[in-house]
Structure 1
Amino acid sequence: MNKFQIIIIAMCFCFTMQKSWGQERELSASDSVKLKQKISKDKPKEGGDRNVMLNAASNTGPRDVNIGLPPSVGGITILENDLPAVYYFWPELPNRTWRPSVSLERTGLLKMDELATSMGDLGFAVNSYTQTGTKDFQFKGKVSGSHYGWIQGDVNVSGPISKNGWSYSAGAFLNYDPDTYDLKSVRNADETKIFRAGITKYFKDNKGKITAAYKYANSYSVTNYALFRYKEGGEAKELDGFTFGKGSFVVNDGKYRFKDLMTGEYYTADIDGNEATTESHNIDIFGNYQLNNGWDFQYSTRYHSAKTSLLYQIPLSITESVDASAGYTYANTGDAYTGNVATQLAMNSPNIPTKTLMGRFSLNKTIKNHELQLGVLEQYYHVDDYHSNRSFFYQTVEDQPSKLISPNTDEFGFFGYNTGGEFYRGSENKLSFFGTDNWKVNDKFNLSYGVHIRYHHINGDFAREAVNTSTIMNEEQTASFDEGWLQLGGKINANYNLTKNFGLIGNFLYTEENGRLNDFSTSFVPNLKSRKSPLGAFGVFWNTPFLSLVSQATYLYKNNYLQRFNFVNPVNSSESQNGSVNYDIQTIGWTTDLVLTPFKGFRLHYLITLQDPVYKKFNFSAFGDDYNYSDNNVLQISKTLMEIDPSYTFGNWRIWASFRYFSRQYASLTNVLYFKARWENFGGVNYKLNDHVDLGATVVNFLNQRGAKGTINGSELITDPSQYYGQLLTSSYIRPFTVQASVSVHF
């Protein structure tokens, strides 16, 4: 049976099945988030219990949820009003237009199977809903800050306009965050302003409502790295004068020189300007209407336009103990320099315009013991002349490093302009049909199933030849592409009660994808074969008045995974090469998740995941040599994960903590370098002053853990770890000890 026959059968199945009301609870073995049993009658299911907003690496967005695959550059998928906050995370990262806010009516975690059927994508998603107009006046405000100088103001007001069902909502979110390190060239590491305004009409006889909402966002951010000496056993030893999270490895003048791929003109980008800022406009129209035949028609539409500028520097390698014969001088003084030298890659994508038009429409109805949802999803995206201008430079190796000039740089200290630069332009269109049925078969057996059918089309232009210093993009240097695919997604979940409180659960979900516009950012046609992701799981559940437990084993496989690397020549660390690799990933895991409530006020959540994510079919060539990383462990993914979350509530007080354990994480593709096991921890106290005022205090990393995480830049090809023992390296890190406080007002 071919794919088209399968799709025809699936469409018939989709439009004839009926939906049930019921309860389910499921957890895949690679999940690090516990999922609730609730099925919302009007919205996709959302998991509770886990605070996905607790991010140990950043204060600007939710944490990435582990599913046994490499962390996405864009982080966890973020939805607002059932549509993606941004169509694709690059070049406009989701946290440039979305932040947790009191202007969101509610926020939850969308489960993997619901994302597969509603969006056709793999993973978890944060799903949020804009605050609509209210029939009564409401005020919500929150002020937050930290002892490092972070301050955030967040306010929303809503209320009636007239007696015939019209109401309004308006909000403002202002974030000024210097982060935990000092930047000499800019005051804040993150500045984000989001303003919202909306108007809502309530229909008569509680038939539903419609909301038109506008959002303006302006967001700027800078990325930092940790500098340390790597020790045998995966230890990252701090340097004197450079504390993790407090030292800055961003060049102290914050200025980078580039050659524009589109015009050939040289220019200077400054992190204190607009070269790292995204500005966006968003118009949403959404709501629901109860039809006379009992169907609930739900709809959400969006027009989103943005201009994005990205500015990054990425450490490539460090050469130690350079003497005077190398000819390095300080760029700002001209004085001779001896010591350690860091090679850096600078990247700038200036004012990239993108436009998105999306709409999601569904019909929902309960028929006997079925709950039915049928829907259509349309997503159109266009980007004009995306290009990544690149250059290389040297800097000193210290806190607040200085730029260096050498014999192989120009007078400004830069070289290798646009070597490995990127270019593409074009459009994507996704048209999807989806349907789900939640069926309460009987008192013991619940069955949930759904299908997502998508046609995905991309077309545009990309660089005909490899981009280099002499390249100026014009029509003669571009080639066109035009591709389309029919893709399937779906789920089947079942749970069967063997006794009143004990039973079996089984889950299967499946997604497909092929390619995206950004796959054409380099000069060769990427592998666009179908990327299939089947996930199967089987386990047990047990519920008592004091204990709720799920234990489940999971198998996940994803083929044709596409990733780009900046390979550094293991023989000559000053030589780098941009490359793309297709490979597969396999994850086998087992998870046990429990919630314990032994006495009033106390609650303990415990999660343990054992998994074995490995690469498959990972073969490539670089610098004239062939490499095979098949069966190597996946980068940045621990084999053992634990989460321990105790809390105690008494009177108006709540005391809580969250501990996360990550076993060894591999930092090089060859698996010879790794970071030792670590803990991430949070703790806090909340106090309800009265019905209108809440106080909160949170401590990030209250155990004052130190350590690096992520990957070690430039180590992708090394096979002898001893050459790195005692060497200076860079990577990302967890936030240092930070005290945060907030005051919330609502009436």
Structure 2
Amino acid sequence: MRMTFLKIQMNRVVILAGLLAMGLPVVARSHESNSAETADSTVVISKKEENNRNVMLSAESATMPRQLNIGLPFQGDILILENDLPVVYSFWTQMPTTAWRYDNSIGPIGLMSFQEGALTFGKVGYMVTSTDRQAGRKFKGYASVYTTNYGTVRYDANVSGPIGKKGWGYTLSGYQNFERGSGANLKYTTYTEEATFIKAGINKRYKSGSFAFLYKHADVKPYVMGGYSPFVYKGNGETEEVDGFRLGQDSYILGSGLFPYFDYNTGEAKMGDITSDDASRNLTDAFYFNGEHRFKNKMKLTYSTMYMQSKAALTLQYPLSINISEASDRDATELYTIYGTQGSVDGTTGAYGYTGEAYDGSVQLVSTQYYPQVDIKTFTARAELSKKFKNHDLRGGFTYQYYSAPIIYNSAVYYQTVEPNPRLLNRIYAMDLSAYGMGTSYYPVTNPTNGGLAVAGTYSDNTYSKTALYFSDDFSVGKRFNFGLGARIEHENDEVTRNIYPNEFVQDRLYTEKFKNKYNRVFIGNAVVKLTNEFGLLGDATYNSWYNRYWERGDDGAENIAKDKNLVVTNFGGGIYWNHGKLFSLVSKITRIKKQNNIAEETITNAAGESERVYPIFYDIETMGWSTDIISEPFKNFNLHLLFTLQNPKYKNYAYSTHFNNSVQNYDYSNKVIPDLSKVLAEIDGSYFLFNRDVRLWASFRYFGEQQANKTNTIFYNGWWENFGGVDYNVSRNVTLKFQVVNFLNQRGVKGALVGGDQITDASSYIGRKIVASGIRPRTFELTANFKF
């Protein structure tokens, strides 16, 4: 069974391209960066942001942004920018949503194109861009109150105004969130998240530009990470709920909030508390200095710097999907008792003082990932010069990123009951000694101190220093040809201190390796050919390569031989655009994305807690797709957006072997469809204005086709629709009410990759059995009141 520590949360929890929804039914739409969409039907190829994509609405969670599917599984590449800089350097273990929220402190906001994200920061995918509000010549205030039928309450306000009459101004913001999620009756906490953000800044406007200083403090405590649920797999893509468990609503996290783990260094058995600061509290203090200056020769300089000190913590408990044990399947040697209760298995105390109330129901094997609070330091800077020269739009940029962060990883495997707010279990081995004239003796399988099975944690201390230069030129040749070219070169120095003995507790055995003078490269190009005033051809190409390290074992068994590979992403696209006034604007493209030299790790764990680690595994990913995006205003006050995608995301050259109990098992995922990615995607967004545009009715539908649940493609889910709808009402110039319903069709079901299911080669034995995945968010009613003053 596979324990995918880092990769699981990449698929489930982390930020993909999108915005943190405040319950606001904002519809931002998308075209590719070369889609020409201006009112006079001319083409602007230097557009750096994506429009027309509905990125505000997330069906995963009330406090998580939506996922934009680009045919590649998410691996931490997609970022959120604030004042032109990433809000965090790495989402692991500091989630972006612990340092940023979309609230009234944010002014301009957008979505950076795939090419622009690669050029400016070397990333893969779409990047949200946001800028903090600055004071103008008059006092302004914005405030919002948000609530749901499950009891979430969110408060948010910003005020700004001038200081004197010489261009100085101030901005002050406050944000508080008391999140109840989908209303799960958690026993260990009232809220799934408590968050507080405070910002204070001053800015100065002068004749040739402006600059601003900003301080940001964030205090975020996410008490629930992930949304797993047990369900019954019926076969052929069908699932059904487990009796007594509401998919997407009931909590599948230990009801006590206490979890077992083993100290990464000593191996000592301990108990942790999800609600403790060490397990969940994230503190961030960030300082920004940014601005712009326009020179007399019409050259423009924009610049931004950020220094951030953080305390980051992350705790996850995720079920190993295929390890649910039914009482009918267990033999007489496998017994369970409720951890921390008084009683006995059969009226006797049992060996080693094992006591507890006997339990004879369904049992789930669960893994703990506990990253206790650590100190992180980040410094980031960016400067860009731009100038228009005849038919050229030139710019050159500089970025610098420094990041220093230790990672402490404590782990364990444990057993819990299969029910809402599960209970921790002891596992006991019963040995029949009647052949020796004795009765039955009971021996512990799990540790008596914490009820867990020992799994080694690890430690690393990482320092990264990256300096990059980038350049681009958007230019035209005649009236019908537009081109764009760009390049980025990044110099990287790293220092890593780590445990070099895999599957062993650290025991103060640390090894330091320095990596010097590594280079990362990006090249982009795009073109638009205007065949008529309305119709034309477009194409683009992106090459993005960066240094990626791995270690091989020496003769002593230690992973202390440092190696590196260039991880390469290539993206080629071509198609047509057709802008026919308000009736429709269409872009249709064929794209091919390939990601080479991915480095993977597989850790296989059996029901007894024995594990085997396979590392490194190298593989490729390839996706061919066709997308058509249409915006239409067929009649007055009605807007329609349609998006349809066919794609075929597959693994390439992905194979490895395991050697449990001297038995070799080969696995080959090559040409298998990547789990959690659909081959067919569709989106329909419609809105209609009433009463002189004071009322807006809107609905959004997203279709996800059949999804594979594991890498062997032996288990899959049938397609489903995500749906949203609402009403926006402009009560007055200063008051707006927004009512929104998430999942108004009240669909129920599961989605997402199966944890631990990648070695299932025959699904027939799992039909009718309980397994675990993520539940679709249940129907949620949201109300937002926005105020201006």
Aligned to 1:432: 468
Contact 1:646 1:656 in 2 (8 A): yes
How far did residue 695 of structure 1 move?
Answer: 0.5
Aligned to 2:195: 192
Could you say if the C-alpha distance between residues 320 and 484 of structure 1 is closer, same or farther in structure 2, counting changes exceeding 3 Å?
farther
Aligned to 1:3: none
1:668 matched to 2:701? The reply is no
1:303 matched to 2:307? The reply is yes
How far did residue 320 of structure 1 move?
Answer: 1.3
Contact 1:450 1:492 in 2 (8 A): yes
CA distance in structure 1 between the aligned counterparts of 2:689 and 2:531, rounded to whole angstroms: 34
Identity of aligned residues (%): 35
Could you say if the C-alpha distance between residues 40 and 290 of structure 1 is closer, same or farther in structure 2, counting changes exceeding 3 Å?
farther
Greater radius of gyration (CA): 2
1:592 matched to 2:628? The reply is yes
1:326 matched to 2:363? The reply is no
Contact 2:231 2:772 in 1 (8 A): yes
Which of the numbers 659, 665, 676 marks the counterpart of 1:636? 676
How far did residue 201 of structure 1 move?
Answer: 0.9
Q: Which one-letter code corresponds to 1:528 in the other structure? A: D
Q: Which one-letter code corresponds to 2:414 in the other structure? A: F
Q: Which one-letter code corresponds to 2:782 in the other structure? A: Q
CA distance in structure 2 between the aligned counterparts of 1:422 and 1:561, rounded to whole angstroms: 22
Contact 2:550 2:563 in 1 (8 A): no
**Alignment deviations for residues 356-377 of structure 1 (CA, whole Å, 9 cap, x no partner):** 1110001111122221111100
1:733 matched to 2:780? The reply is no
CA distance in structure 1 between the aligned counterparts of 2:165 and 2:599, rounded to whole angstroms: 56
CA distance in structure 1 between the aligned counterparts of 2:418 and 2:331, rounded to whole angstroms: 14
CA distance in structure 1 between the aligned counterparts of 2:36 and 2:335, rounded to whole angstroms: 59
Residues 311-390 of structure 1: matches in 2 within 5 Å? Answer: 311-316=315-320, 317-321=323-327, 322=330, 325-333=333-341, 334-384=356-406, 386-390=407-411
How far did residue 133 of structure 1 move?
Answer: 2.5
Aligned to 1:271: 274
CA distance in structure 1 between the aligned counterparts of 2:488 and 2:535, rounded to whole angstroms: 31
Q: Which one-letter code corresponds to 2:359 in the other structure? A: Y
Contact 1:658 1:681 in 2 (8 A): yes
How far did residue 257 of structure 1 move?
Answer: 2.8
Could you say if the C-alpha distance between residues 127 and 298 of structure 1 is closer, same or farther in structure 2, counting changes exceeding 3 Å?
same
Aligned to 1:230: 233
SS of corresponding position for 1:529: strand
CA distance in structure 2 between the aligned counterparts of 1:35 and 1:235, rounded to whole angstroms: 43
Which of the numbers 68, 75, 86 marks the counterpart of 2:71? 68
How far did residue 40 of structure 1 move?
Answer: 13
Q: Which one-letter code corresponds to 1:629 in the other structure? A: Y
SS of corresponding position for 2:496: strand
CA distance in structure 2 between the aligned counterparts of 1:481 and 1:619, rounded to whole angstroms: 30
SS of corresponding position for 1:722: helix
Contact 1:465 1:477 in 2 (8 A): no
SS of corresponding position for 2:747: coil
Contact 1:549 1:593 in 2 (8 A): yes
CA distance in structure 2 between the aligned counterparts of 1:518 and 1:308, rounded to whole angstroms: 26
Which of the numbers 150, 153, 167 marks the counterpart of 1:151? 153
Count of residues paired in the alignment:
707
CA distance in structure 1 between the aligned counterparts of 2:178 and 2:187, rounded to whole angstroms: 16
Unaligned segments of structure 1, at least 5 residues? 1-24
How far did residue 35 of structure 1 move?
Answer: 9.3
Contact 2:269 2:450 in 1 (8 A): no
How far did residue 575 of structure 1 move?
Answer: 4.2
**Alignment deviations for residues 44-88 of structure 1 (CA, whole Å, 9 cap, x no partner):** 72222222121110122321211100133x584211111111001
How far did residue 576 of structure 1 move?
Answer: 4.1
Query: TM-score, with normalisation over the residues of structure 2?
Result: 0.86
CA distance in structure 2 between the aligned counterparts of 1:662 and 1:733, rounded to whole angstroms: 14
Q: Which one-letter code corresponds to 1:349 in the other structure? A: Y
CA distance in structure 1 between the aligned counterparts of 2:373 and 2:218, rounded to whole angstroms: 15
CA distance in structure 2 between the aligned counterparts of 1:564 and 1:740, rounded to whole angstroms: 41
Query: TM-score, with normalisation over the residues of structure 1?
Result: 0.91
Aligned to 1:7: none
Contact 2:445 2:453 in 1 (8 A): no
Contact 1:427 1:517 in 2 (8 A): no
1:47 matched to 2:50? The reply is yes
CA distance in structure 1 between the aligned counterparts of 2:382 and 2:551, rounded to whole angstroms: 24
Q: Which one-letter code corresponds to 1:394 in the other structure? A: Y
Which of the numbers 234, 238, 243 marks the counterpart of 1:240? 243
Could you say if the C-alpha distance between residues 615 and 455 of structure 1 is closer, same or farther in structure 2, counting changes exceeding 3 Å?
same
Could you say if the C-alpha distance between residues 604 and 110 of structure 1 is closer, same or farther in structure 2, counting changes exceeding 3 Å?
same
Q: Which one-letter code corresponds to 2:595 in the other structure? A: K
Aligned to 2:419: 398
CA distance in structure 2 between the aligned counterparts of 1:190 and 1:231, rounded to whole angstroms: 34
CA distance in structure 2 between the aligned counterparts of 1:525 and 1:677, rounded to whole angstroms: 45
Aligned to 2:487: 451
Contact 1:458 1:483 in 2 (8 A): yes
Q: Which one-letter code corresponds to 2:191 in the other structure? A: N
Aligned to 1:21: none
Q: Which one-letter code corresponds to 2:213 in the other structure? A: A
**Alignment deviations for residues 516-550 of structure 1 (CA, whole Å, 9 cap, x no partner):** 79999x95667621111111111011011211001
Could you say if the C-alpha distance between residues 553 and 238 of structure 1 is closer, same or farther in structure 2, counting changes exceeding 3 Å?
same
CA distance in structure 2 between the aligned counterparts of 1:27 and 1:631, rounded to whole angstroms: 28
Aligned to 2:697: 655
1:500 matched to 2:533? The reply is yes
Q: Which one-letter code corresponds to 1:326 in the other structure? A: E
Moved more, 132-141 or 605-614: 132-141
CA distance in structure 2 between the aligned counterparts of 1:516 and 1:276, rounded to whole angstroms: 29
CA distance in structure 1 between the aligned counterparts of 2:552 and 2:389, rounded to whole angstroms: 44
Q: Which one-letter code corresponds to 1:331 in the other structure? A: Y
Which of the numbers 743, 746, 764 marks the counterpart of 1:704? 746
Q: Which one-letter code corresponds to 1:646 in the other structure? A: G
Q: Which one-letter code corresponds to 1:188 in the other structure? A: Y
CA distance in structure 1 between the aligned counterparts of 2:325 and 2:576, rounded to whole angstroms: 54
1:510 matched to 2:543? The reply is yes
SS of corresponding position for 1:528: strand
Q: Which one-letter code corresponds to 2:524 in the other structure? A: K
Contact 2:682 2:704 in 1 (8 A): yes
Please tell me the root mean square deviation across aligned C-alpha atoms, in Å: 2.4
Unaligned segments of structure 2, at least 5 residues? 1-29, 342-355, 428-443
CA distance in structure 2 between the aligned counterparts of 1:578 and 1:97, rounded to whole angstroms: 34
Residues 500-539 of structure 1: matches in 2 within 5 Å? Answer: 500-515=533-548, 523=559, 528-539=564-575
How far did residue 314 of structure 1 move?
Answer: 1.3
How far did residue 625 of structure 1 move?
Answer: 2.3
1:480 matched to 2:522? The reply is no
Which of the numbers 398, 410, 413 marks the counterpart of 2:447? 410
Aligned to 2:288: 284
CA distance in structure 1 between the aligned counterparts of 2:36 and 2:85, rounded to whole angstroms: 21
Contact 1:172 1:195 in 2 (8 A): yes
Moved more, 331-340 or 678-687: 331-340
**Alignment deviations for residues 103-146 of structure 1 (CA, whole Å, 9 cap, x no partner):** 00121111101111111211111111111222211101111110
Could you say if the C-alpha distance between residues 563 and 279 of structure 1 is closer, same or farther in structure 2, counting changes exceeding 3 Å?
farther
CA distance in structure 2 between the aligned counterparts of 1:613 and 1:35, rounded to whole angstroms: 28
Could you say if the C-alpha distance between residues 36 and 81 of structure 1 is closer, same or farther in structure 2, counting changes exceeding 3 Å?
farther
Which of the numbers 95, 98, 105 marks the counterpart of 1:96? 98
Could you say if the C-alpha distance between residues 733 and 153 of structure 1 is closer, same or farther in structure 2, counting changes exceeding 3 Å?
same
CA distance in structure 2 between the aligned counterparts of 1:656 and 1:728, rounded to whole angstroms: 38
Contact 2:649 2:677 in 1 (8 A): yes
SS of corresponding position for 2:116: helix
Q: Which one-letter code corresponds to 1:327 in the other structure? A: L
Aligned to 2:209: 208
